[in-house]
Amino acid sequence: MKAARCHTLLPEQTQDWQYFGLPPRLGDFNGEAPTAFGSDRKAPDLLHVGSRNSSKEWMMMHFFNPRLVQPHSIMPRFDYLWGEVDANGNEIDFDQWRADYKEYAAGKSLYPPLVPDYAPNSEIRYLMDYVLSLK
């Protein structure tokens, strides 16, 4: 799935909503299954997202599993961009992470599991650097 189907990179003062549809509001897609990606804009404009949110930790959690920071997010996970090893060269156990997250989501754990550190040459590093550069 391409981000262009969900987000835009347009100046906020344009009439882009006439082409892309109105920006979504919280709860617009609750209960919609499946979400019809590509039918209209499903997510906020990203033009100045690096100025609005420059937290690398938040971005890392959001890309790994958006529901860690926005429980009703319809954004897909991008955990596959982490690669197979973390920053220390250790293999990432995604199955264990998902099991720990299920416990957290079910209310059995007070805190969500820590997001693994990504390898310096992983695809997620390049994506995060790009998004944070949008100022």
pLDDT digits (tens, 9 = 90+) for 28-84: 666 666 555 555 556 777 777 888 888 888 888 899 989 888 888 888 888 889 988
* One domain, residues 77 and 133: yes
Out of 14, 31, 47, pick the residue that ends a domain. Answer: 47
* One domain, residues 109 and 135: yes
Look at the chain and report how many structural domains it folds into: 2
The CA-to-CA distance between both ends of the chain, in Å, stands at 24
* One domain, residues 66 and 120: yes
* One domain, residues 61 and 117: yes
Query: Whole domain around residue 20: which residue ranges?
Result: 1-47
pLDDT at residue 96, as a whole number: 92
Is residue 128 a contact partner of residue 56, using CB atoms and an 8 Å limit? yes
Q: How far is CA 18 from CA 3, 44, 47, 113, in A?
A: 19, 15, 18, 41
**What is the length of the chain?**
135
* One domain, residues 72 and 36: no
Q: Which residue type, as a one-letter code, is found at position 117?
A: D
pLDDT at residue 12, as a whole number: 54
Q: What mean pLDDT, rounded, does the chain reach?
A: 78
Is residue 62 a contact partner of residue 68, using CB atoms and an 8 Å limit? yes
* One domain, residues 131 and 67: yes
* One domain, residues 73 and 134: yes
Q: How far is CA 56 from CA 44, 83, 123, 132, 133, in A?
A: 18, 18, 15, 8, 11
* One domain, residues 43 and 59: no
* One domain, residues 64 and 39: no
* One domain, residues 35 and 75: no
